[in-house]
Amino acid sequence: METERKERWRETHLLTPDKKDLARHVLGLVRRGQDVTKTLRGYPLEGGGYLNKAMLVSIYNEMVAAGEMKEDARLLERIRMKPMRTLSGVTTVTVLTKPYPCPGKCIFCPTDVRMPKSYLPDEPGAMRAVEHRFDPYDQVMSRITQLKALGHPTDKIELLILGGTWSSYKRDYQEWFVKRCFDAMNGFSHLPTEEMKIGGDELREAQTYNETTHHRNVGLVIETRPDEINPDEIKWLRYLGVTKVQMGAQSLDDRVLEMNKRGHDVECTQQATALLRAAGFKIVLHWMPNLHGATPDSDREDFSRLWEGFCPDEIKIYPNQLLANAELYEYWQRGEFKPYSTQELIDLIADIKPSIPRYCRVNRVIRDIPSTNVVEGNRRTSLRQDVQIEMKKRGTKCQCVRCREVRGKSVKTEALQLNDHVYPAEAAEEHFISFVTPEDKLAGFVRLSLPGKKSPETGIDDLARAALIREVHVYGQSLAVGAEKDGAAQHVGLGTRLLEEAERIAFENGYGRMAVISAVGTRGYYLGRGFERGEYYLVKKIG
């Protein structure tokens, strides 16, 4: 079956001499300003079908390499497949860990022996992992190759490691897994896939090499449970190079957590969030409406608690979906659980989305689970678009980070306004410092955290009495290092100006030091702006 699939792919994608000639002709028309899609449709292939954008990208790369045409960033942007993937400024590469037991016993979580806990083998990212036998090197290398073939730049990579509870895996596996991901980004030759203990030095060498390689890691994300977070785990995550942590809060109601056998309480989530913030991590919380014991009204109330101290930087809204291989299915069979309808979910999310603060990004509003797995309830994976349509009807809008990103639009720096949105988050004072356009679109931002006297102790010397830079992000199409694009927010010095403003605010609030939770591939950026290497962070004296 796998051989047949690859054979079909070759038939569809390989360019014969006739297809090459046609692709060159179409590319020429597009260069002269014609619409890409209409032009492709205007030149059908003999025997049926059409050329696709991947073929145009292939011909473009071939012509540039042969010196037949100069690099043209604007042209490449027009023929690139799914340009939205990299308009946030980085290219995300997702990998899955191997199947492994999870300490959780949640009744809503699907169980499949072929997959890490909570994942299904026919989810898009999971299918790629299965195809590569969960090998980290092969997953990363394959995805980079695919993205390049589709015309996406791959010099700035956010590595997203998924698969149950990361912290429950053995640490020698974690270290090996991350090191092999770096090997792929570094372009090292393929080595045997067997897991091995690497003893520390090899990982550090791979990280150091990545500081100046072609595929730099600008963010490393793992997912875990709140009850796995403690000072020792914090240090370990920083050793691996982790900069962002996803946690399943699921609900902020102890009764609902207990009914769903979550295994931890709300206070545990609160403590974990506060500790991650004190250590400078970017925080992503998963929130699940329609859990057993919840109602649409109780979910509306529950959602509002997210902004009472927890204050995540990003959220994923994952409506509970009834799956046959989850314990919840038995509750449904007994009549003890009923999923919300699609319209109930649309109404719920349309109600709560406008309340999301300006500092938070909504990454997802539904999991990409194929509808064939859902027993009853919502089967639509286009829920975000459905909610947007409903909000437009109501005349409401969301002001979250994702809805305000400038994306690929040009930026006039002289028109940008500098904003400092200050909010309390447990014992810390947070500053969301941003540059916005006259239309209130985000061109870039920095997350500055000022720990208070009651902030949790991390036990890390780098962070002693330091203000924390938790994230610096400047928007625009992700470009190759050194590339230029007229008006692109990433290339007009906004990052440096945001850092200077953060330093000013930190100094005025009595801090003499700053620490930044730098990804491996962004160390050079901060080192060039006065920071020095600490044990786990980059640090700088200010004032």
Q: How high is the pLDDT of residue 14?
A: 54
Q: Are 122 and 373 in contact (CB under 8 A)?
A: yes
Q: What is the pLDDT of residues 71-89, one digit of tens each?
A: 887 787 777 755 544 444 5
Residue 51 carries which DSSP code?
Answer: -
Confidence of residue 485 (pLDDT cuts 50, 70, 90): very low
413-541: CATH homologous superfamily? Answer: Gcn5-related N-acetyltransferase (GNAT) (3.40.630.30)
Q: What is the pLDDT of residues 411-436, one digit of tens each?
A: 888 899 999 999 999 899 999 999 99
Q: Are 315 and 273 in contact (CB under 8 A)?
A: no
Position 395: which residue type? G
Q: Any residues with CB less than 8 A from the CB of 65 and at least 6 apart, and which?
A: none
The two most distant CA atoms of the chain are separated, in Å, by 72
400: left (phi over 0), alpha (psi -120 to 50) or beta: beta
CA dist 237 and 175 (Å) reads: 10
Is the model more confident about 296 or about 58? 296
Q: How high is the pLDDT of residue 199?
A: 63
CA dist 386 and 373 (Å) reads: 21
Q: What is the pLDDT of residues 244-264, one digit of tens each?
A: 999 999 999 999 999 999 999
Q: How high is the pLDDT of residue 26?
A: 81
Q: Are 389 and 458 in contact (CB under 8 A)?
A: no
Q: Which residues in 136-156 are b (16+ Cβ under 10 Å) and which e? A: bbbbbbbbbeebeebbbbbbb
Q: What is the pLDDT of residues 76-123, one digit of tens each?
A: 777 775 554 444 458 999 999 999 989 999 999 998 889 998 898 888
How much is the pTM?
0.85
Residue by residue, DSSP assigns 358-410 as TT-EEEESS----GGGB-SS---S-HHHHHHHHHHHHT----SHHHHB-TTS-
Tokens of 497: 């100006």
Mean per-residue pLDDT of the chain: 89
Q: How high is the pLDDT of residue 52?
A: 77
Domain 247-404 carries which CATH code? 3.30.750.200
Tokens of 393: 């009807």
**Coil, helix or strand for 80?**
coil
**Coil, helix or strand for 499?**
helix
Q: Are 140 and 91 in contact (CB under 8 A)?
A: no
Tokens of 110: 């699907």
Q: Are 126 and 186 in contact (CB under 8 A)?
A: no
Q: Which residue bears the tokens 């270290």?
A: 175
Residue 445 carries which DSSP code?
Answer: E
Q: What is the pLDDT of residues 147-177, one digit of tens each?
A: 887 778 899 999 999 998 999 999 999 999 9
Q: Are 345 and 390 in contact (CB under 8 A)?
A: no
Domain coordinates of the chain in residue numbers? 2-79, 90-224, 247-404, 413-541
Q: Are 416 and 435 in contact (CB under 8 A)?
A: yes
Confidence of residue 53 (pLDDT cuts 50, 70, 90): confident
Q: How many CA atoms lie within 13 Å of 387's alpha carbon, on the beta-carbon side?
A: 24
Q: Which of 189-193, 220-224, 373-377 has the lowest mean pLDDT?
A: 189-193
Q: Name residue 496's beta-bridge partners.
A: none
Whole-angstrom CA distances from 532 to 9, 67, 462 are: 48, 42, 11
CA dist 396 and 379 (Å) reads: 25
Confidence of residue 31 (pLDDT cuts 50, 70, 90): confident
Closest CA to 477 of 82, 210, 145, 29: 82
Closest CA to 370 of 60, 68, 17, 127: 127
Q: Which residue bears the tokens 């930044």?
A: 516
**Coil, helix or strand for 258?**
helix
CA dist 192 and 249 (Å) reads: 37
Q: Are 285 and 312 in contact (CB under 8 A)?
A: yes
Helix locations, 150-253, DSSP H: 171-186, 201-210, 231-240
CA dist 386 and 341 (Å) reads: 13
Closest CA to 382 of 342, 353, 352: 342
Q: How high is the pLDDT of residue 542?
A: 96
Question: For the chain, how big is the Rg over CA atoms in Å?
Answer: 24
Confidence of residue 467 (pLDDT cuts 50, 70, 90): very high
Residues in the chain: 543
For residue 490, how many other CB atoms are within 10 A of its CB? 23
Q: In the predicted model, is pLDDT for residue 4 greater than 50?
A: no
Using a pLDDT cut of 70, give the percent of the chain over it: 90
CA dist 355 and 387 (Å) reads: 14
Tokens of 322: 């009834």
Q: Which residue bears the tokens 């092999």?
A: 180
Name the percent of the chain in helix, strand, coil, to the closest 5: 40, 15, 40
Q: Are 494 and 443 in contact (CB under 8 A)?
A: yes
